[in-house]
């Protein structure tokens, strides 16, 4: 790296480069930086970006894997909350870069820390917090909400470990307040036999979340009204149609899909579960998969001996993650070569500390369960 950083390069010049030129620039920068950089590609990332990734996986896996490397720079081709998680879990000297700061997550953005703190205070005022209430947040949330859970005896969960964590918290607490994905919360609660009338839905734009005090006192699970815009596109009629069109097809969906879709499916589970299920299935098996289209397309390419379909005919793509294009990646990498760290994601120390408390609790509780 030059002793004195050069002027930050403008993104403009990258917007007019050919695909080939961009690819060459990214690979040259990677060679130049060597082990000082690790590029992470989320499972839902587009092909022209993921082909440059050193590591691929889901958000939590990627953050953990990056923290185990000695790389000084973690270039996260995912969305904002994932880059925050990498900063929380990374070594102190590791710096995290999100190649496009506009790559957010529509679900994570549905719960702000101000709204969550306000909801908690409303629950306190009506006496709900006189019961033992645990705040639990899905990994797909801001660092500030993870820290809120860390401060209040709560925990973070992923779609892989939501079931064992619910098992522990449902036994030890009177109720749980689950952020921000109502569908993962409802689908997981249903696995424990919690009836729908004991799952209150909290709308942050209404007083008491749109509930009566009695409903909230009686609820076992309070679900934040958030959802994933990608998984929310799968509807029950898609399941009915694909079963009619393809006899023998098995329907495999992510638990961010709505309850009615999960109830009609054969199997549901995290992205890793979906990949492993297809990997381990016999040649000739037929799958209709309800998750992000880039992942489904790559499964189709990897397993030509299996019949793999996207559950919905229309494009179910994570549009915000798609914002990270080869142009942004090449720009961020070239700037690193010049000694300029662009689009760095930094979580403040206090938030990092309490978010880490919630994540460490997740790790130790899931280890105890396995």
Residues near ligand SF4 (CB under 6 A) are 44, 79, 105-107, 140, 228-230, 292, 318, 320-321
Question: What 3 state SS string does the chain have?
Answer: CCCCCCCCCCCHHHHCCCHHHHHHHHHHHHHHHHHHEEEEEECCCCHHHHCCCCEEECHHHHHHHHHCCCCCEEEEECCHHHHHHHHHHCCCCCEEECCCCCCCCCCHHHCCHHHHHHHHHHHHHCCHHHCCEEEEEECCCCHHHHHHHHHCCCEEECCCCHHHHHHHHHHHCCEEEEECEHHHHHHHHHHCCCCHHHEEEECCCCHHHHCCHHHHHHCCEEEECECCCCHHHCCHHHHHHHHHHCCCCEEEECCCCCHHHHHHCCEECCHHHHHHHHHCCCCCCEEEEECCHHHHHHHHHHCCCCEEEECCCCCCCCCCHHHCCHHHHHHHHHHHHHCCCCCEECCCHHHHHHHHHHHHHHHHHHHHHC
CB of 98 to ligand SF4, least distance (A): 12
Instruction: Select 211 or 226, whichever has its Cβ closest to ligand SF4.
Output: 226
Instruction: Select 208 or 321, whichever has its Cβ closest to ligand SF4.
Output: 321
CB of 295 to ligand SF4, least distance (A): 10
Instruction: Select 67 or 320, whichever has its Cβ closest to ligand SF4.
Output: 320
Instruction: Select 228 or 337, whichever has its Cβ closest to ligand SF4.
Output: 228
Instruction: Select 79 or 262, whichever has its Cβ closest to ligand SF4.
Output: 79
Instruction: Select 175 or 254, whichever has its Cβ closest to ligand SF4.
Output: 254
CB of 304 to ligand SF4, least distance (A): 26
Instruction: Select 14 or 234, whichever has its Cβ closest to ligand SF4.
Output: 234
Cβ-in-10-Å burial (0-12, 13-18, 19+) of 216 comes to buried
Measured CA to CA, the distance from residue 100 to residue 228 in angstroms comes to 20
Instruction: Select 318 or 358, whichever has its Cβ closest to ligand SF4.
Output: 318
Q: At what angle do helices 293-302 and 271-279 cross, to 10 degrees?
A: 20
Residue 116: which residues within 8 A CB-CB, separation 6 or more?
135, 145, 148, 179, 224
Instruction: Select 87 or 292, whichever has its Cβ closest to ligand SF4.
Output: 292
CB of 200 to ligand SF4, least distance (A): 22
CB of 44 to ligand SF4, least distance (A): 6
Instruction: Select 160 or 320, whichever has its Cβ closest to ligand SF4.
Output: 320
Here the tokens at position 302 are: 């990897």
């Amino acid at each position: 790296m030059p002793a004195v950083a050069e002027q930050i390069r403008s993104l403009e010049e990258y917007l007019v480069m050919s695909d080939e030129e961009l690819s060459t620039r990214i690979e040259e920068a990677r060679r130049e930086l060597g082990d000082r950089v690790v590029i992470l590609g989320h499972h839902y990332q587009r092909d022209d970006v993921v082909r440059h990734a050193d590591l691929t996986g889901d958000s939590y896996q990627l953050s953990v894997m990056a923290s185990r490397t000695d790389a000084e720079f973690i270039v996260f081709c995912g969305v904002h909350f994932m880059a925050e998680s990498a900063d929380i879990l990374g070594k102190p000297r590791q710096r995290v870069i999100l190649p496009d700061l506009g790559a957010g997550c529509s679900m994570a953005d549905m719960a702000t820390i101000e709204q969550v703190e306000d909801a908690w205070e409303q629950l306190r005022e009506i006496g709900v917090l006189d019961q033992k209430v645990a705040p639990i947040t899905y990994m797909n949330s801001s660092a500030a909400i993870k820290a809120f859970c860390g401060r209040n005896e709560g925990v973070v969960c992923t779609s892989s470990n939501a079931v064992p964590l619910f098992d522990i918290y449902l036994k030890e607490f009177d109720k749980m307040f689950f952020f921000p994905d109502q569908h993962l919360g409802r689908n997981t609660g249903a696995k424990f036999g919690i009836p729908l009338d004991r799952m209150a839905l909290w709308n942050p734009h209404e007083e008491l979340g749109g509930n009566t005090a009695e409903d909230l006192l009686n609820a076992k699970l309070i679900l934040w009204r958030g959802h994933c815009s990608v998984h929310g596109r799968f509807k029950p009629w898609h399941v009915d149609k694909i079963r009619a069109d393809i006899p023998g097809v098995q329907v495999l969906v992510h638990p961010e899909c709505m309850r009615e879709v999960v109830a009609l499916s054969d199997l549901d589970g995290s992205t890793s579960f979906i990949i492993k299920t297809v990997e381990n299935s016999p040649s000739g098996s037929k799958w209709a998969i309800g998750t992000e289209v880039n992942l489904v397309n790559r499964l189709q390419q990897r397993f030509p001996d299996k019949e793999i379909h996207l559950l919905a005919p229309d494009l179910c793509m994570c549009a915000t993650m798609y914002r990270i294009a080869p142009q942004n990646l090449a720009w961020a990498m070239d700037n690193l070569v010049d000694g300029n760290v662009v689009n760095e994601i930094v979580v403040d120390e206090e938030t990092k500390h309490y978010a880490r408390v919630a994540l460490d609790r997740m790790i130790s509780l899931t280890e105890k369960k396995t």
